[in-house]
Structures are given as structure tokens and as C-alpha cells.
Amino acid sequence: MRPLRSSRSFRTLWIGTSASQLGGQMANVAVLAQVWDLTRSPVGTGVLGLATGLPMVLFGLLGGTLADTFDRRAVVRASTAGQLLAAAGLCAQALADNRNVLLLLALVAAGTSCSALGAPARRTFPVRLLAGDQVAAGLALTNVSFQAAMLAGPALAGLIIARWDFPAAYAAQAVAMAVSVLTVIRLPAMRPEGADTAGGKRRPERGGWRIVLRRPTLWGSMATDLSATLLAMPIALFPLVNEIRFEGDPQTLGLFLSAVAVGGITAGLLSGTVTRRRRSGLVQLSAACVWGLALAGFGLAGPLWLALGCLAVAGAADTVSVVTRSALVQLETPDAFRGRVSSMEHVIGVAGPELGNFRGGLLASATSASFSLFFGGLSAVLAIAAVAAINGPLRAYRTPPAAAEPTTPGVADATVVAGQGP
């Protein structure tokens, strides 16, 4: 909890990010339900995945260049305002009783594009607003709010839609995005450090994409995450496992998703036990291996309690891995390159799970759900072990030994805990 006490600016950012995450989860449910209502076809809901996935990848990469060229606060402010407008558009089409699914998908794609443009810049904020030894804790807090939004957002959206229909759910998202815009406005300016200036225009330093390959800690951390998600992502197999083992009970299917979120929230709340450990590279590798083993166990688990336990462990391990990876990437990347490197991390975080779900579904259709989960989990562990074996710098990586001043002057207030830095 130290980042919330020590930095007023981070506290403001966290409130706005939490609001946008909750609003986004509510909107996801409303959009999914409305697309199904309009099409009554799984193809329609599948196209919804394209309307969100493709803009996230394409505009995420562009957002990295923008983050290394312009004031990052301005980039996030503009992109969040765009999300607010898209949310207002979704609310308006629902009030008008829109029956055109293409209009709905276009608004979803517009909101996702704005989110992707601002995501790399937003990822660089914690390392600029917090002392070096608090960056991982700040990222853990952000992850906790995301997991809480995943747990509460869909349920809240269901209640709102049942009582007041789709316009109310979209209006709730618009209010959440308005809160996010207001919090971003209150942040200090955060221009990228070391950017060149030519002809009165700022331009990012060259080599922003190649720096990942030049630094073993960066490519090793991203390869670890990609191995875990590409080879062992289980979400697409949940309905099949539920049908085979638990008679297709929809409540059980909901418990699968909730177990992952509960594990993630628990790990986030107890994250001080790992964020204070300086061997964060080794922590990430270990947590990613636990993720793979837990999902392999889920593939073999018979009783419901054991299946849910494996998923909770997987959710906790995923949170630890994400927090340590994100902190390592931000701390290891020079500020002038953080936008582009963050965009690569963002794209891997988006594309890896989607491709992993696709891989898992294909393998399960050719074999079985149990084999796909077990084989995928063990494959992920072996791939992560290979990364660890050939990447000594990642195994040996240590976070900064002492609290460093934030790189943005004046962002931390005077709150100091006895015996600790700000």
C-alpha cells in the first residue's frame, strides 16, 4: 500500500485507472449481450473478438511511438477522451434502439483503438511517479484493481442490464471514463527523456524496437510471458471441461472464471511478499512455471474443489508473474524507449492469450480437453525452463537496491513512513 501513501499523483492515477477498468468490464458484458441479441449467432460474437483484437494490436504499436514522441500525459488524456466519446456513442445507439450490428462493432472498435493508443504511455506512468523500490508494488495495486473489476464488473453489469437495459450499462461506462479523464488531467506533464529535437519537432530516439533484442532481461521476460500464455491459456476450454466433468452447469462455468480472479486478487493483496524481493527475474520465471503446473493439474483434476483450487493457484501465479515482469520491463528500459517497449509488452499481453486459446481449442478438438490442458501446461513449463537456462541475466536480475527519487519532479508528496523512503 506504500505507493498510495507516498505519491499523490499515483493515487490519483490509480483511482482513474480502477474506474476505467470497472467501466470497461461492464461494457464488455453489455456489448457481448447486445451482439448476441442482434445476431443470435456465435459468428457474431466471434466477430466481436476481431473488432477488439485487431485494433488493440495495430494501434498499440502506434501508441508506443506516440508515447516516445509526445508528452505522455497528453497522449493518455486524448486517448481517454476518445474512449469517453465511444462510450457515449454506445449509450446513444442503445437509447435509439439500434438494430445494426455493424454500427455497434464500429463503436467498439473505435473505443478499443483509443484504449490501445494510450495503453503504452499509461504503462510508463508508475515508474515516473514512484520511487524505484515501489514500482512493483504500484503495479501490483493496478493488477488488484483489474482483478477486482473482472470479478465485480460482469456481475454488476448483469444487474444493471436486467433492471435498466443496455443504455444504463453504457452510461455507467461513460461515467467511469469521465472520472478517468479528470484524474489524468490532474497528473504532471511527463515528456519522454532524451528525445531528439529536429526542426522544432520532437522525435523518438532510434532503436526503440531493437533495444528489446539487445537486452537479455527484456526479451527473456517477454519470452517467458509469451511461453506461458501461448502454450497454456485455458479459458477457451472452460465450457468443454464444464460440459464433460460437471454436466454443463453454468454456475460451475462462472466459478472457473471467479477462481482465477480470486487467486489473482489474493496474490495482489499479499504481493508485498514478492515485490520486496530483489531477484524479480527469478520470481517471474518461478511464478510462470507454477502457472503451467497448476493448469496441468486442472487438466487432470476430478473433484470440483480440486479444479477450482488449481485455477486459483494459476490466477495467483499469473498475478505475481505479471507484476514482476511489468516492473522489470519498466525499470530496465531507458525512458526514451519506454513507450515502444511498453507497446511490445502490451501486444504480447493481448495476442499471447488469444493465440493460446486458439491453440488450446485446436488441440482439444483433435485429442481431448484434459490432454490439451495437461500437455499445454507442461509445454509451458519446459519452454520457460529453456528461457531460464539460456538467459543468465534474467535469472540474476535484481531490482534497484534502494529507493530512488521519481524521475518526474514533484510527484511524490511528503508522506514518509518511519524507517522507509517516500
The CATH number covering residue 385 comes to 1.20.1250.20
| Spatial CA neighbour of 84 closest among 171, 25, 152 | 171
Identify which of 20-24, 140-144, 360-364, 399-403 has the greatest average pLDDT.
Answer: 20-24
Query: Is 266 within the bounds of a domain?
Result: yes
Query: Is 366 within the bounds of a domain?
Result: yes
Q: How far apart, in whole angstroms, are the C-alpha atoms of residue 311 and residue 295?
A: 7
Query: Is 25 within the bounds of a domain?
Result: yes
Question: What are the φ and ψ backbone dihedral angles of 170, each rounded to 5 degrees?
Answer: -70, -35
SS3 270: coil
Residue finishing a domain among 130, 160, 188: 188
Could you tell me the sign of the dihedral formed by the alpha carbons of 399, 402, 403, 405, in that order?
A: negative
Q: What is the pLDDT of residue 201?
A: 47
Same domain, 56 and 133: yes
Cβ contacts of residue 193 below 8 Å, gap of 6+?
A: 334, 335, 336, 407
Same domain, 289 and 333: yes
Same domain, 222 and 184: no
Q: What is the pLDDT of residue 345?
A: 84
Residue 309 banded pLDDT, cuts 50, 70, 90: very high
Q: What is the pLDDT of residue 147?
A: 81
Same domain, 234 and 108: no
Same domain, 282 and 352: yes
pTM higher than the cut 0.85: no
Residue 317 near residue 46 (C-beta atoms within 8 A): no
CA 299 to chain centre: 25
Rg over CA atoms, the chain: 21
Tally of domains within the chain: 2
pLDDT at 16 over 80: yes
Q: How far apart, in whole angstroms, are the C-alpha atoms of residue 253 and residue 243?
A: 9
Give the residue-averaged pLDDT of 136-145.
Answer: 87
Query: Is 169 within the bounds of a domain?
Result: yes
Same domain, 281 and 164: no
Same domain, 311 and 168: no
Query: Is 343 within the bounds of a domain?
Result: yes
Residue finishing a domain among 188, 216, 237: 188
Query: Is 250 within the bounds of a domain?
Result: yes
- The packing angle between helices 72-95 and 42-67, to 10°, is 160
Give the residue-averaged pLDDT of 258-277.
Answer: 81
Domain extent, residue 30, equals 1-188
Question: What are the φ and ψ backbone dihedral angles of 84, each rounded to 5 degrees?
Answer: -60, -45
| Spatial CA neighbour of 38 closest among 94, 120, 109, 86 | 94
Instruction: For 42-99, write each residue's pLDDT tens digit.
Output: 566 667 767 887 888 889 889 988 998 899 999 999 999 999 999 999 999 999 999 9
| Spatial CA neighbour of 397 closest among 337, 329, 340 | 329
Task: Retrieve residue 193's grid coordinates.
Answer: 527523456
Q: How far apart, in whole angstroms, are the C-alpha atoms of residue 70 and residue 406?
A: 19
DSSP secondary-structure letter at 201?
E
Residue 54 near residue 105 (C-beta atoms within 8 A): no
Distances (CA, A) of 26 to 29, 88, 171, 270, 367: 5, 14, 10, 26, 35
Percent of the chain whose pLDDT exceeds 70: 88
Residue finishing a domain among 144, 159, 188: 188
pLDDT at 419 over 50: no
Same domain, 175 and 288: no
Kindly report the average pLDDT of the chain as a whole number.
Answer: 84
| Spatial CA neighbour of 71 closest among 118, 4, 9, 133 | 118
Same domain, 370 and 224: yes
Identify which of 272-276, 291-295, 343-347 has the greatest average pLDDT.
Answer: 291-295
Q: How far apart, in whole angstroms, are the C-alpha atoms of residue 127 and residue 335?
A: 9
Same domain, 240 and 113: no
Query: Is 152 within the bounds of a domain?
Result: yes
Query: Is 241 within the bounds of a domain?
Result: yes
Same domain, 171 and 313: no
Query: Could you tell me if residue 215 is left (phi over 0), alpha (psi between -120 and 50 degrees) or otherwise beta?
Result: beta
Q: What is the pLDDT of residue 194?
A: 61
Identify which of 132-146, 183-197, 284-298, 327-341 has the greatest average pLDDT.
Answer: 284-298
Instruction: For 187-225, write each residue's pLDDT tens digit.
Output: 999 888 765 544 444 566 665 567 888 889 999 999 999
Written as one string, the DSSP assignment of 351-377 is HHHHHHHHHHHHHHHHS-HHHHHHHHH
Same domain, 119 and 268: no
